[in-house]
Amino acid sequence: MPKINKTKYAILGVLSMNPGSGYDIKKFCDKGISYFWNENFGHIYPVLKQMEVEELITKIAEQNEGKPMRYVYSITPKGWEELTEWLMQPPENTPARLELLLKLTFAKNIPENNVIEQMEKIKQKHIQRLEQYEEMEKEFNSNEKTRLDRGYPYWLATLRYAIHDARFRIQWCEETIQNIREHQKMLNN
């Protein structure tokens, strides 16, 4: 089977919540879900065009005074069908490619201290991420309205994933740094 255009489903999903322009879709990705999903204009615009041809979405031109042209897309019944069908299907797991782990595999060819430094930086990055996510969680849970929304447990799930993820990475960084140091000592004796 050929590789599937995931951008199409991301767009369908975003438009299922609200009609919007290509720009709006990009904004939603950047502001709302960038820690697990990313899109860029160079792909969004051509895919939108193609989806219109496939009748998954419809376009309406919007001209506000003094502002640039806006093309607002809405999802069609056919689009809804395609979206829900995709949602019901188990997610495809794309073959992993974790550059950090690949580097570690061959890391014995560079000085230990360089590796430790890199791991330390990565740990700091995840500590910052974790703080952000925990802040987001607080805000999210303090909002009464969101908790009554049918989507509540799903939004929460994505956030919790990010939190778990950041935590395990911090732990793993610490553990790994310690293991490198201990091994260093062992070999010196």
Interactions with DNA, residue window 62-121 (CB under 7 A): 64, 66-71, 95, 97
CA separation for the pair 56, 73 (Å, rounded): 10
Are the beta carbons of 74 and 12 closer than 8 angstroms? no
Are the beta carbons of 113 and 167 closer than 8 angstroms? no
Determine if 34 is a binding residue for DNA (CB under 7 A): no
Burial of 28 (0-12, 13-18, 19+ CB in 10 A): buried
**What are 61's strand-pairing partners?**
71
Determine if 38 is a binding residue for DNA (CB under 7 A): yes
- The vertex-38 CA angle with 64 and 140, nearest 5°, equals 80
Nearer to DNA, 10 or 170 (CB): 10
Residue 50 beta carbon to a second copy: minimum distance, rounded to whole angstroms: 19
Q: Which amino acid, residue 143?
A: N
The listed partner (DNA, a second copy, none) that binds 18, CB under 5 to 8 Å by sort, is none
Which of 17, 46, 138, 164 is the binder for DNA (CB under 7 A)? 46
Residue 54 beta carbon to DNA: minimum distance, rounded to whole angstroms: 12
Cα dist from 153 to 80, 146, 161, whole Å: 22, 10, 12
The listed partner (DNA, a second copy, none) that binds 90, CB under 5 to 8 Å by sort, is a second copy
Q: Please, what sign has the CA dihedral across residues 99, 104, 110, 112?
A: positive
Residue 162 beta carbon to DNA: minimum distance, rounded to whole angstroms: 19
Interaction pattern, residues 1-20, with DNA; x per rule: CB under 7 A: xxxxxxx-------------
The listed partner (DNA, a second copy, none) that binds 53, CB under 5 to 8 Å by sort, is none
Residue 98 beta carbon to DNA: minimum distance, rounded to whole angstroms: 12
Residues that bind DNA (CB under 7 A): 1-7, 21-24, 27, 38-43, 45-46, 48-49, 64, 66-71, 95, 97
